[in-house]
């Protein structure tokens, strides 16, 4: 238990700044083998050793030390702040990247599809009748996009789960189940 106490005292001296005590610190071992620490040398001890010599106070050196410590602390604080700023910027960059890479939400999909259909309708309405070949073809094509827009607004989930292929009078290959693939007439 005494060894623990003496070790605790040594650690306490170190942390509290032994130089501030303004005295020599001695160590010695008594005839029972117990190690002692004190600022007063024991009487009649022959194995006394100075562990921490007394340091005279010098105000100019103390001021220099204080200024150096202040500079070191300021550098450390600046480094910590810079590191914190870099971490914040990295987190912000990662959040922005995650936002860019996330799949669109259902309302965003609906809005984008609605915009696409409205643009297609406006483009087709602006085309001359010669582009369609006949008034009937123009009405059919515009009607299809109006129908798809209405279907999108009524039931978006059904709209996206069952897309329809249509481009006026154009027929896509393999749309007709009676047609066999690979056979030509």
The string of pLDDT tens digits covering residues 112-124 is 999 999 999 999 9
pLDDT at 21 over 50: no
Task: State the greatest distance between any 2 C-alpha atoms of the chain, in Å, as a whole number.
Answer: 126
pTM: 0.42
Please state, in angstroms and rounded to a whole number, the distance separating the CA atoms of residues 94 and 104: 18
Among candidate residues 147, 137, 143, 146, the one with its CA nearest the CA of residue 118: 146
Which range (40-44, 74-78, 140-144) has the least confidence? 40-44
Please state, in angstroms and rounded to a whole number, the distance separating the CA atoms of residues 75 and 141: 71
Pairing of strands 25-29, 35-38: antiparallel
Average pLDDT for 98-120: 91
Number of residues that make up the chain: 185
Please state, in angstroms and rounded to a whole number, the distance separating the CA atoms of residues 141 and 138: 5
């Amino acid at each position: 238990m005494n060894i623990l106490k003496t070790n605790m005292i040594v650690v306490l001296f170190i942390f509290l700044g032994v130089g501030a005590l303004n005295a020599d610190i001695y160590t010695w071992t008594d005839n029972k083998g117990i190690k002692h620490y004190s600022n007063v040398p024991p009487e009649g001890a022959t194995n006394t050793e100075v562990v921490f010599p007394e340091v005279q106070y010098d105000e100019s050196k103390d001021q220099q030390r204080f200024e150096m410590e202040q500079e070191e602390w300021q550098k450390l604080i600046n480094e910590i702040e810079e590191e914190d700023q870099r971490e914040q910027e990295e987190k912000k960059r990662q959040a922005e990247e995650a936002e860019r890479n996330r799949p669109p939400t259902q309302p965003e999909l609906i809005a984008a599809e609605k915009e696409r259909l409205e643009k297609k309708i406006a483009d087709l309405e602006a085309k001359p009748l010669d582009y369609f070949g006949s008034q009937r073809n123009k009405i059919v094509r515009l009607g299809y996009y109006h129908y798809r827009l209405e279907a999108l607004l009524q039931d978006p989930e059904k709209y996206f789960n069952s897309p329809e292929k249509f481009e006026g009078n154009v027929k896509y290959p393999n749309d007709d189940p009676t047609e066999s693939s690979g056979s030509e007439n």
